[in-house]
Amino acid sequence: MAETALDLNAAAAIPSGTEHRPRHVAIIMDGNGRWATQKGWPRLVGHRRGAERVKQIVHAAPDLGVDWLTIYAFSTENWKRSTEEVLGLMGIFARYIEREAVTMSREGVRMRFIGERERLNSRLRNLMNSIEDRTAGNTRLNLTVAINYGGRDEILRAARRLSERMARNEVDAITEESFAACLDTAGHPEPDLVIRTSGETRVSNFLPYQAAYAEYEFTPVLWPDFTPDHLAAILDRFGMRARRFGGA
């Protein structure tokens, strides 16, 4: 896709000083367990503190010119962690959704989820469905949370969906458009910027198809310490990058 300038109406809607900032930011929120361990606390304390940080970043994102925010909460590989940590994380996710439903509605946040849901417990799935329905009309910020998400798994599931649609004669040909329509992120813009906290420099199976032309930023800051000021600084640096999308 060719790079184009923002139209005048879109530019007018962006707060002053954010004209060259990404509209869709994706974040690999890494370092919760390490943050807690460094302080001599249980890993779940770090995950709870990380959930509090999510609230702050979600609240700040629209004022920084971000329209779409996608966060990596739990990967398909995270099931390898201890049963205690996995169950604790699922409880944190459920409490976050319950407690933030009213705030998100009030602040105009639309919340959606990507990932394979069947392995999640029924209470969490019901909460996810409920907040998606409740916030469906909100437009100030599109928040997407990846839970039990893996990029390879998503691509395989999309391939199956596309095959089934072709078998039902709903799709004429395999194209980028027909394949993208079968991804969990169908209808979402591709991320402009992917951030990973904690100093690791891996992409960890996060949005491999969608982020083909994204810019990446790796920061040593652990997620519980990642503030809106850190995000603003990264967005400023993004504005100095030249994005050519294969052009000269």
Q: Where are the domains of the chain?
A: 22-238
Is residue 215 annotated as involved in ligand binding?
Answer: yes
Least Cα distance to 31 among 223, 193, 226 occurs for: 223
- Per the annotation, the verdict on 184 as an active-site residue is no
- Tell me the Cα Rg of the chain: 18
Query: What is the pLDDT, as a whole number, of residue 17?
Result: 43
Which residues, in sequence order, are CB contacts of 20 under 8 Å at separation 6+?
238, 239
7, 9, 67, 78: which one is catalytic?
78
Residue pair 223/55 in contact (Cβ under 8 Å)? The answer is no
Query: What is the pLDDT, as a whole number, of residue 119?
Result: 96
Going 43 to 48 to 51 to 55, the CA torsion angle's sign is negative
Is residue 81 annotated as involved in ligand binding?
Answer: yes
Is residue 203 annotated as involved in ligand binding?
Answer: yes
- Per the annotation, the verdict on 236 as an active-site residue is no
Domain 22-238 has CATH 3.40.1180.10: yes
Whether the pTM exceeds 0.85: the reply is yes
Q: At 152, which amino acid appears?
A: R
Is residue 160 annotated as involved in ligand binding?
Answer: no
30, 67, 184, 192: which one is catalytic?
30
Q: How confident is the prediction along the chain (248 residues), in pLDDT tens digits per residue? A: 333 333 333 333 334 344 578 999 999 999 999 999 999 999 999 999 999 999 999 999 999 999 999 999 999 999 999 999 999 999 999 999 999 999 999 999 999 999 999 999 999 999 999 999 999 999 999 999 999 999 999 999 999 999 999 999 999 999 999 999 999 999 999 999 999 999 999 999 999 999 999 999 999 999 999 999 999 999 999 988 777 667 66
Query: What is the pLDDT, as a whole number, of residue 113?
Result: 98
Is residue 33 annotated as involved in ligand binding?
Answer: yes
Cross-strand partners of 180: none
Going 227 to 230 to 235 to 238, the CA torsion angle's sign is negative
Query: What is the pLDDT, as a whole number, of residue 6?
Result: 33
Strand order in the sheet with 193-196: 109-114, 141-149, 68-75, 24-28, 193-196, 215-218
